[in-house]
A and B are shown apart, each in its own frame.
Chain A
Amino acid sequence: MVDSKLRTNKTKIINTPLNIDDVLSLKIGDMILINGKIVTGRDRLHRFFFNEEPSRKEIPFNLEGAIIYHCGPIIRKTGKGYELVAGGPTTSMRFETYEHKIISEYGIRGVMGKGGMGIQTLNSFKKYGCVYFHTIGGAAAYLADRVKNVAGVWKLEEFGETEAMWIFNVENFPAMVTMDAHGKSLHEEIEKKSLREFEKLIRRA
């Protein structure tokens, strides 16, 4: 189920887990399609990783080279397990305080969400080799259809359905690289441009 418009001859196909060469080859503006396993994490999981520093052994998924997806999904329990009903991205900026540590401590190589992140995260991308994937905010049914199945879950009891760490098996999951490991951020560029316009607009009576 690939939208032809999202797959052009310039679209890069990437497979998880990512290695350093994958990360370094990605630049802001690249359109990509992701295949393989990704994990979700939002407010509670970020705080937990940041404050409690769980050991790698405790975590039932190898985060080395993983993509962490900022998403609080709607999940339906089925006879066989879990089914993803809707699963678009949440606003990544809420995790600005925490993300750099998760990248440095657990070896994550991709952060996916919406709206982009700040300078602290951008610096850690450069230092440790990681990129930001901007996926399609609001398009939750569309994106859920690019998740083949729910492969597992951690912290469901403790954090609840929205905040748990879900493992998704994705196929041709679309995103745009908007922050790369070379210190570039599309969000920074757009914000600068809009600031110039904003200043013009508020000066003009």
Chain B
Amino acid sequence: MLRLREAIIKLYKKAATSLPSDVEAALKSVYAKEEKQKVKAILSAILEDIRTARKTERPICQDTGVPVFFIKVPAGISLVYLKNTIINATRIATKKIPLRANAVDVLTERNSGDNTGTGFPVIHFEGTRKSKLTVDLLLKGAGCENVGQLYRLPFGEIRAERDLEGARKCVLDAVYKAQGRGCPPYIVGVGVGASKDQVTKLAKEQLLRRLGDTNKNRVLSNLEKRLFNDINQLSIGPLGLGGRTTTLGVKVGVNHRHPASYFVDVSICCWANRRARLIW
């Protein structure tokens, strides 16, 4: 349906050009908290970038990333239809906004020019009992995607055993190794569970949560709080230039695991946590 296609084009525009209000508010409070004048000056430029992008309807960051969709589908809607609508919307949005064309054929090294290709954009479907379709879009830049890491526990290098304490060490390891390369302050998504595909999706899904969203599970909400403080202890700072703030928020999700497996995926997102939701 054309109307849904138009709504998805709008969703792209919102995600690419208008940073969610909670992330912008968090960056403003980072500005207040940081002490070094140079770091403050850089943060003020970031805040101005956010305002300029929104006002002029241009992308916040030139790397408009890999579009990742998480879709909750009510009964009776064809997934083939949804997928085609998204692909068409992606082509138009790329030209119209514009987004940077980021889909490169691995065999020919040719850029498709419109952000579509095999398995591109990434689309996750899930059924819902609700009557409305929910489309969450995350534009995940490559700088931060490249510094994310998958761990198979136990992991001797940091003495991470198969428990949540081991998972905590993995998250710190990933952020320490990332340093400033993925544009901190980071939003960190963590997935713990049985298999590689399961935890990478789960970790990325955590990046859709608003920063103020507390985990319903007390053990996990405590872990999120602890990791938030621990990561900020690393002093990597905004853009890796040193300072008090290395993360804006940590979100952890768990799935059941296999008795013999314990995977932890750490998905790191840059300060430009470009997410947008459409309820249809």
- Chain A residues within CB distance 8 Å of chain B: 3, 5-6, 8, 29, 31, 71-74, 76, 85-88, 90-91, 93, 114-116, 134, 136-145, 160-162, 174, 176, 178, 186-187, 189-191, 193-195, 197-198, 201-202, 205
Contact = CB atoms under 8 A, between A and B. Distances in A.
Given A74-B99, A134-B239, A137-B239, 20 more contacts: A3-B41, A5-B41, A86-B60, A115-B143, A116-B180, A116-B181, A136-B46, A136-B49, A137-B180, A138-B49, A140-B59, A145-B52, A174-B45, A176-B241, A190-B179, A190-B180, A190-B240, A190-B242, A198-B172, A198-B176
A71 to B, nearest CB: 7
B71 interface: no
A190 B243 CA distance: 9
Given A31-B38, A72-B100, A3 B48 contact: yes
B62 A91 contact: no
B158 A202 contact: yes
A154 to B, nearest CB: 17
27 contacts: A3-B41, A3-B44, A6-B44, A73-B100, A74-B62, A85-B98, A87-B62, A88-B61, A90-B63, A91-B146, A91-B181, A114-B183, A137-B183, A139-B45, A139-B61, A140-B49, A140-B58, A145-B52, A161-B101, A162-B102, A176-B38, A186-B241, A189-B242, A190-B235, A197-B233, A197-B235, A201-B172
A115 B179 contact: yes
A72 B62 CA distance: 7
B215 to A, nearest CB: 21
B237 interface: yes
A162 B179 contact: no
A163 B217 CA distance: 46
B138 interface: no
Interface string B70-100: 0000000000000000000000000000111
Interface string B236-256: 110111100000000000000
Nearest to A136: B45
Given A88-B62, A176-B241, A137 B230 contact: no
Contacts of A144: 58, 62
B272 to A, nearest CB: 5
B111 interface: yes
B165 interface: yes
A3 B173 CA distance: 36
Contacts of A116: 179-181, 240
B12 interface: no
Q: In the A-B complex, list the 5 residue pairs whose CB atoms are closest, starting with the nearest.
A: A142-B49, A115-B181, A139-B49, A137-B183, A86-B62
B46 A114 contact: no
A111 to B, nearest CB: 15
Contacts of B42: 6, 136, 176
Contacts of A86: 53, 58-62, 100
Contacts of B146: 91
Contacts of B60: 86, 138, 140-141
B40 interface: yes
A153 to B, nearest CB: 16
A142 B272 CA distance: 14
A136 B39 CA distance: 11
Nearest to B231: A201
B169 interface: yes
A201 B143 CA distance: 26
Contacts of B270: 137-138
A84 B211 CA distance: 32
